[in-house]
Amino acid sequence: MLIDQLQRQFFSAEKLKPVLAKLEAGDDTSLGIVASVRPFVVASLFAREPRTIFVVVSGNDAAERFANDVAAYIGRAHTCVYPERTDMPWQDVRPDHKIIGARARALGLLTLGRSVVVVASARALLRKVAPASGSVFSPLVVSCADGVVDAATGELVAYEDFADMLVSRGYERLGELDGPGTFTQQGDTVDVFGSGMTAPVRIEFFGDDVDGLRRVVASTGQTIGEIEQAEIWPAREFAVSAGGLKRLKEALRAELASNRETIDKVAMLEEGVVFGDMDRFAPYLYKELGQPISHAAKGSLIVIAEPRSLFDDAAHRFDEIQVMAHEAGVSDDELEGLFAAPAKMDFGTRQRLTLQSIMRIGGDVDADVAVQRPNVAGREEKLYTAIRAQIKAGMTTMFAVPDRRAREDFELVFGDCSIPFVEVPDEGEKSLDRRYLNIIDIDVPNGFIIPDARLAMISIADLSRRGGSARQAKNIDITDITFPYKPGDYVVHASHGIALFSGMVRQEAAGQERDYLLLSYAEGDKLYVPVEQIDRVTRYVGPDGSAPRLTRLHTADWSRTMGRARKSAKKLAFDLIDLYARRSSVKGFSYSSDTVWQEEMEQVFPYEETPDQLKAIADVKADMESEKPMDRLICGDVGFGKTEVALRAAFKAVSDKKQVMILCPTTILAQQHYTTFHDRFEPFGIRVEVMSRFRSSAQQKAALEGFADGSVDVLVGTHRLLSRDVNPKNLGLVIIDEEQRFGVGHKEQLKNLRESVDVLTLSATPIPRTLQMSLSGVRDMSLIHTPPPNRRPVAVHVGEWDEDIVSGAIRREMERGGQVYYVSNRVRTIEDALERVESAAPEARIGIAHGKMSAKQIETVMEQFAAGEIDVLVATTIIENGIDNPHTNTLIIEDSQRLGLAQLYQLKGRVGRSNQQAYAYFLFPPEKPLTEEATERLQAIGEFTDLGSGMKIAMKDLEIRGAGSILGAEQSGNMSAVGFDLFASMLAQAVADARGEQGIAHEDVQIDLAADFFIPEEYMPETDERVLFYRKIAAAQSVEDVDRIAESMQSKYGALSEPARNMLDRAKLKALAAECGVTSVTQSGGKVVIAPVSASLKSAAMKNDDARATLERLRALYFAKSDKYTVPCAKGESPLAPAMELLEALYEVAEDNR
């Protein structure tokens, strides 16, 4: 493997000799090196000496990433993660067996001393486990060759003992499998759904021998495939032995004499019955529980990354666990038996390597290695210049490109640029050559340059290339940006008009079963739509949310309607393109690459960035480094890290001596942003000021003067910043937070700004017009879907106002030391709301805040609330934006029916900004009937409780209010006739046409082959879910898209049945055909017919050795007159296979010749 060559060169660095000497002597050592290169260091250590390496990092997501990055070099077979358990021992809930299995496997590998890299977060190590002295975590290894072997003892397990051994390891014996951690036994056959397994295994015994071993579908028992070996890891983290039970009964003697619940649960432990809070008894079964690292076998290496950060990570999590324990009535002594306090965390006695950041350590390490980041992002010439410079300097220069087609594309470019290169595969004997650019096929997460080792690695990620808008749109799941529908909803068929969706039916046609959508039209007409055409059917959403008129089939009505709508979309598209073109023609400022100061500022960020956040940051930086003015929307839920993206963009702008303006819809949000930006930027000498009524006239005047003379770098404020007296000296970046909150006049001013400076817009619930422009390819968008680690969804209650509910909610929050927002949105009646809160919770300290108060009064109240001097803040929606108080985790809104959906969602985001469970109560008066729209809004806020629902809320808001507000009067009328989704689709197509973008649309490819194409009802019972996946499949644009859908289906429903697999393969054929210019794949008289295939493509295929061999093997015939290929298909053979092979061969040739 390449890592063998890389580690030799890395460890040849002179600076690393002291570290190597200590490692070889078995002594502890330390190394100063940046975080991005640490996975490479660990992979190099493993390649140099394969042994057990236990890596501890800060944060659960960081552990996952670290393991993935190490696996890129040494393979997944040699890496695993030891995850944190999300359940608490005292909670009566079933543990996640996927997590249990991963933890048991990791501890088992450590105990057995296997050559593997195990990665864990510090917080995952807090929970104690069975001591290392036992063999609790060893697997049962099953194979036809050796039978069942206990890995701990190496002894054969007899068939008659096998079931008991599974029970002793936490497995439940059931009549049928019920997920991981269960097994069934019928005669000599045992089905085991192993802890951590994706599918169960069926073991067929013949005496004590294993006669058959295969993976099966849990629900049907259908065979997935035979396997050579299976490892069955324990389903719990302790063993119940006779000695342990004796110790437990002695310790709980008093409870066992009087407590019925304890008596029952101890009896269940004895009988091997699994129950929710069984882990609570674990400390009584042993003299003392152990810590995970104590399981590391002799000869293991423990790698500690940033000890200070590890302690902080563990301490933060332990504080949360303590709060949860006290809320559940768990004593400190009991907690100490279950969890290790951070100060008592044991990193074991094995050899240790400590990795630290050079910037933090001040030289107290055995060696420090300087690392540079490849400066290749932005223009292509930067990449070529950097490569030439590294080769000229005698560095071993590598370019990591895992995708074969991408490698071939780059090789053509490098050839044209006269850059000498050579391919060096990971699996092979070929040596790296410093005279050339070594193109390697491994998925390196981060590039690096290590001058001391003469190593230069460039990864695809370093390029941070911005794809075109159309390509970005393909990464958005169509079901997230179009409206779902269910039986009873109005829908639109692109060719036949508006109908009622009556459900899904299965019918047989020409000997094949298919699923159809049943659409009901005017005058009782019915239309059966094959699911492969489901992309032609969209939910009807009109301008005012009212019910539409059904279309009459077999008339010219619909074609006339579509003609008018297309004309309207075309006109709007040209208007949008005109704005886009004007921006593109303006040469903006091209910012330089990140400085050392930028990196230092970013390292101060106290949390682990999420993958989506990192992608958004890379997108923004790439925009800023290009010459085109940036206009990007960052769409992410409340608290998902949009502000950090803005901070880094602002710092980048100021680093190049440009000024930044931050526009906020409210004074409070402006003040919040001012505090955040000021605190982060002050150490770097960057001056941040704010224009708000919290500042005196003199202060505001000084801020304006500073912005005009350039001494103020960043100015934060409301729409006041759009006034004529705001005259920046050198404005480079405008950041707009929650643009939908600004008025029409302000939006026009913002529109004019976009033509000259970089604009970054942040939104949790984007306005529909913004959303539509982003999706139609006119505006760039980055989505932050991933919540911060350990963030919990807010628990939502929607119901009538009741004093007992209000009282209970406030008191529960106060009992756990938290605070409450109570929102009443009418200033004139807010004093009445105050009285209601005082009556419900007289012991609470209550404050009040609303927009009619003076700036000084609001500031005082907010300071008191932030300091914890107020328990309940009674306020108007003034708190909607900008209040960030992690101690406030209960929100109560009265008269919630009066607020818009986006507003309700924004308010909900004020709580749940820490790791504590948060609660939101949306209450309405019991005596007043709710309007239909208000009911829908409240149902939606109760339904969309998942983290990251902002985009769905925007779509639902559009659905409830209607889509009339997003367009002018002319377009609204035409959109009303066809519905929002179809009109948006027309607009996207019109934008592409206006840009001159061409290509065969996937829906124009006809696939007509003799096979069953459907998702079986027994595989996916819910109609809504089948419609959802049918829509995903129909919208797939590439083979990669289809593979992602297949993975999603299998993870949720298990192995695919043949008809479902056919459905996915059909989608792949469609994607491949479109790329090759093929419009028809049909079956006729025992042959598959593929047409048209151009003469040039056929000629290129015959010149390509691989393609020609495939065509000859398939016995494909080409007919020049009709531009088609035919492939014979034997009777009983699926036509999908030969069609797929031929199209894949043509696709490869077409890609080579682009």
At 191 the three-state DSSP class reads: strand
Of 41-50, 394-403, 935-944, where does the model show the most confidence?
Answer: 41-50
Rounded Cα distance between 556 and 479, Å, is: 31
Say if residue 473's pLDDT is above 50: no
Pick from 44-58, 171-185, 558-572, 1090-1104: least confident: 558-572
**For residues 785-801, average pLDDT:** 79
Instruction: Name the β-bridge partners of 736.
Output: 663, 761
Q: Is it the case that residue 361 has pLDDT exceeding 50?
A: no
692 has a pLDDT exceeding 60? yes
Lowest mean per-residue pLDDT among 606-620, 642-656, 964-978, 1073-1087: 964-978
Per the CB < 8 A criterion, the answer to whether 232 and 194 are in contact is yes
Q: Is the pLDDT of residue 134 over 80?
A: no
Q: Mean pLDDT across the stretch 452-465?
A: 82
1060 in Cβ contact with 1014 (< 8 Å): yes
- 533-570, pLDDT tens digit by residue? 887 888 887 755 567 889 988 888 888 888 888 887 77
The residue whose two tokens read 């019955």 is 273
Which run of H or E residues covers position 41? helix 38-48
The pLDDT of residue 533 is 81
- Taking the C-alpha atoms of residue 411 and residue 629, their distance in angstroms, rounded to an integer, is 31
pLDDT of residue 50: 95
In angstroms, the CA 2 to CA 718 distance is 55
Rank 644-653, 817-826, 982-991 by mean pLDDT and report only the highest: 644-653
In three-state secondary structure terms, 655 is helix
Dihedral, CA of residue 388, residue 390, residue 393 and residue 395, to nearest 10: -130
ω into 200 cis (within 30 of 0): no
Would you state the pLDDT for residue 474? Answer: 33
- Side chain identity at residue 262, one-letter code: T
Give the integer Cα–Cα distance in Å for 775 and 576. 13
Range from 787-801, 846-860, 1013-1027 that averages highest in pLDDT: 846-860
Lowest mean pLDDT among 266-275, 472-481, 965-974, 1115-1124: 472-481
Task: Give the Cα separation of 1031 and 1047 in Å (integer).
Answer: 16
First to last CA, the chain: 32
Q: Give me the mean pLDDT over the 951-958 stretch.
A: 62
Phi-psi region at 576: left, alpha or beta (left = phi > 0; alpha = psi -120 to 50): alpha
pLDDT, residue 968, reads 45
CA distance 455 to 2: 13
As a whole number of angstroms, the distance between CA 1042 and CA 1038 comes to 7
Average pLDDT of the chain is 84
The single-letter DSSP state of residue 297 is P
Question: What does the block give as tokens for 1033?
Answer: 């499949």
Q: Give the pLDDT mean for 992-1020.
A: 72
Domains of the chain with bracketed CATH? 2-133+290-368 (3.40.50.300), 140-232 (3.30.2060.10), 242-285 (no CATH), 380-463 (3.40.50.11140), 584-784 (3.40.50.300), 795-946 (3.40.50.300), 1039-1152 (3.90.1150.50)
Looking at residue 582, its pLDDT comes to: 64
- Maximum pairwise Cα distance, the chain: 93
- 1124-1128/1087-1091 β-pairing: antiparallel
Q: What is the pLDDT of residues 729-779, one digit of tens each?
A: 999 999 998 766 665 556 556 656 656 789 999 887 655 555 555 445 556
Least confident stretch, 70-79, 369-378, 457-466:
457-466
| 3 state DSSP class of 258 | helix
Among 712, 976, 1011, 816, CA closest to 327: 816
pLDDT tens for each residue of 621-640:
999 998 888 888 898 877 78
User: Which of 272-276, 748-752, 797-801 comes out lowest in average pLDDT?
Assistant: 748-752
* Non-local CB neighbours of 1073 within 8 Å, separated by 6+ positions: 1005, 1007, 1079, 1081, 1090, 1143
Tokens of 390: 């590294």
Q: What is the spatial distance between Cα 482 and Cα 485, in angstroms, rounded to a whole number? A: 10
**CA 908, CA 796: separation in Å to the nearest integer?**
9
Tell which phi-psi region holds residue 522, choosing left (phi > 0), alpha (psi between -120 and 50) or beta: beta
Phi-psi region of 669 (alpha: psi -120 to 50; beta: other; left: phi over 0): alpha
pLDDT of residue 322 exceeding 70: yes
The pLDDT score that the predictor gives to residue 463 is 77
pLDDT band at 478 (very low <50, low <70, confident <90, very high): very low
CA 101 to CA 709: how far, in whole Å?
63
Query: Per the structure block, which two tokens stand in for 495?
Result: 């060719």
Q: Is 545 left (phi over 0), alpha (psi -120 to 50) or beta?
A: left
pLDDT at 966: 45
Compute the half-sphere exposure of residue 158: CA atoms within 13 Å on the CB side of its CA: 2
| Listed residue (216, 286, 275) closest to 250, CA to CA | 286
| pLDDT attached to residue 346 | 77
SS3 449: strand
Per-residue pLDDT at 470: 26
Does residue 370 carry a pLDDT above 80? yes
Distances (CA, A) of 1039 to 55, 227, 407, 1065: 36, 28, 18, 9
The mean per-residue pLDDT over the stretch 90-117 comes to 87
| pLDDT score recorded for residue 648 | 96
Model pLDDT, residue 466: 32
pLDDT at 362 > cutoff 70: no
pLDDT at position 363: 46
What percent of the chain stands above pLDDT 90? Answer: 34
pLDDT in tens, 892-942: 999 999 888 878 888 888 888 777 788 999 999 887 777 767 887 887 787
Mean pLDDT, range 199-225, rounded to an integer: 86
pLDDT of amino acid 951 = 59
**pLDDT score of 971:** 52
> Nearest CA to 1048 among 477, 503, 539, 218?
477
At residue 842, the pLDDT reads: 92
Q: Please, what's the b/e burial string for 51-67 (b: 16 or more CB within 10 A of its CB; e: otherwise)?
A: bbbbbbbbbbbbbbbbb
Q: Closest Cα partner for 388 from 451, 424, 437?
A: 437
Collect all residues with Cβ–Cβ distance below 8 Å to 736 and sequence separation of at least 6: 663, 742, 750, 759, 760, 761, 762
Give the mean model confidence (pLDDT) for residues 288-297: 90
Q: How confident is the model at residue 1034 (pLDDT cuts 50, 70, 90)?
A: confident
Residue 705: per-residue pLDDT = 95
- Report phi then psi at 148, rounded to 5: -105, 120
